[in-house]
Structure formats: structure tokens, C-alpha cells
């Protein structure tokens, strides 16, 4: 099981973000992760990297397949990224909830966006349900919502990772198509 702190870094946590639409949300996510993706590439290979627009388009294309809201004000938008060896996540605690067209009609205020290397989608299709189950915990969500800064949020994820080895039963399988 992958840990939140293996996907996230303190630099990828934002608190109090204000955005008016999914479009703006995906732009913010793209602006955060693309420089990191570019820095992680092996420049000797002369491989083109993902730019902000392509990242945005990939997030939006995945969202068109189905809403990535878990309910209870939480969403896990995700997208495939080419030419990368590592998944990258961003966690956003929104300052104002966003209409995310969630099945439970609840506005979203906690976002864990994950950018997954194209060649690792099958692996992550097994991991995503476990992350979703953790983020569906109402106590965890309450802690994340009331955290006052990104350091508090990072510490919450560190505490959760200490308990992450417990096996979840009955988790739904997300297929590679869903990523």
C-alpha cells in the first residue's frame, strides 16, 4: 500500500484556496505539479514533458468519464501523465466549497489530485480504492478541514500513514479505464 506521504510532499499542500469552478481548480493543480514533473524528467533522454495545458486537459478528460467526487465534500481528480516515473499528488483544502457536481450534491472542499504515470495505471487502479477509503473517513475529513496551515495537514497525513498497513476489506476495484 502506498502512503499519502509517498505521493504528497509539503510543497504540494495548499490551504485556503479559493476557486470558482472545476476548470480553475484543474488549472491550479496543473500549475503546481507541472514544474515538478519537468524537474523529475531525465533531460538526457530529450523526452517532451507535460505542459500546464496538457495536464489541465488530462484532468478534464478524466473528469468527463465520471465525477471523481467521493461524497462528503471530498474529491480525487486524477489523470495520466506521459514520460514520468513517479506519481505526484496535490492536496488542496479549499477556503470556500466548490460545486463539483458530486453525486451526493455536496460541495467539495478537500481535494487530493493524483497524476499517475501512464505505465503505472494498472498499479494505481489497485491503490486508489484504498486511498479513497481513507479519505472517506469523517474523522479524518474533519481534521483536514480544521487544520490551520499546511504543516498541520502534512502532520495529519503522517499520522494516517502510521496506520495505513491495516488491510481494507470490500474495497471497490477501480479499473485502469477509470484513471
Q: What pLDDT sits at residue 82?
A: 78
Q: What pLDDT sits at residue 171?
A: 38
What's the number of CA atoms in the CB half-sphere (13 Å) around residue 51?
2
Place of cell 495505513: 164
Q: What pLDDT sits at residue 167?
A: 40
Q: What pLDDT sits at residue 124?
A: 63
Q: What pLDDT sits at residue 3?
A: 86
C-alpha cell at 126: 489497485
The CATH code belonging to domain 4-159 is: 3.40.930.10
How are beta strands 108-117 and 74-75 bridged, if at all? parallel
Q: What pLDDT sits at residue 49?
A: 66
- In order of 94, 108, 137, 151, the CA distances from 97 in angstroms are 6, 5, 18, 21
Q: What pLDDT sits at residue 34?
A: 84
Count other Cβ atoms within 10 Å, centred on residue 120.
18
Residue 115 near residue 33, CB atoms below 8 Å: yes
Closest among 6, 11, 36 to 158, alpha carbons compared: 6
Per-residue pLDDT of the chain (179 residues; tens, 9 = 90+): 778 898 899 999 999 999 999 999 999 999 998 887 766 655 555 555 678 888 899 999 999 998 989 999 999 999 888 777 788 899 999 999 999 999 899 999 999 999 888 777 666 677 788 888 999 999 999 999 999 999 999 999 999 988 544 444 333 434 444 55
Q: What pLDDT sits at residue 176?
A: 45
Q: What pLDDT sits at residue 165?
A: 44
For the four alpha carbons of 29, 30, 31 and 32, in that order, the dihedral sign comes to: positive
Q: What pLDDT sits at residue 47?
A: 56
Domain residue extents for the chain: 4-159
Amino acid at each position: 500500500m502506498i502512503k499519502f506521504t509517498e505521493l504528497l510532499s509539503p510543497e504540494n499542500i495548499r490551504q485556503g484556496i479559493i476557486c470558482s469552478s472545476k476548470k480553475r481548480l484543474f488549472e491550479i493543480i496543473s500549475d503546481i505539479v507541472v514544474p515538478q514533473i519537468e524537474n523529475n524528467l531525465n533531460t538526457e533522454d530529450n523526452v517532451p514533458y507535460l505542459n500546464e495545458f496538457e495536464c489541465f486537459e488530462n484532468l478534464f478528460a478524466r473528469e468527463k468519464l465520471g465525477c471523481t467526487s467521493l461524497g462528503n465534500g471530498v474529491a480525487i481528480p486524477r489523470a495520466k501523465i506521459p514520460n514520468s516515473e513517479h506519481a505526484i499528488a496535490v492536496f488542496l483544502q479549499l477556503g470556500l466549497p466548490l460545486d463539483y457536481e458530486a453525486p451526493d450534491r455536496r460541495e467539495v472542499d478537500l481535494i487530493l489530485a493524483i497524476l499517475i504515470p501512464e505505465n503505472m495505471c494498472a498499479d494505481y487502479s489497485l491503490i486508489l480504492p484504498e486511498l479513497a477509503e481513507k479519505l472517506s473517513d469523517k474523522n479524518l475529513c474533519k481534521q483536514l478541514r480544521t487544520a490551520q496551515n499546511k504543516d498541520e495537514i502534512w502532520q495529519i497525513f503522517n499520522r494516517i500513514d502510521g496506520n495505513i498497513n491495516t488491510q481494507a476489506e470490500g474495497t471497490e476495484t477501480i479499473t485502469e479505464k477509470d484513471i
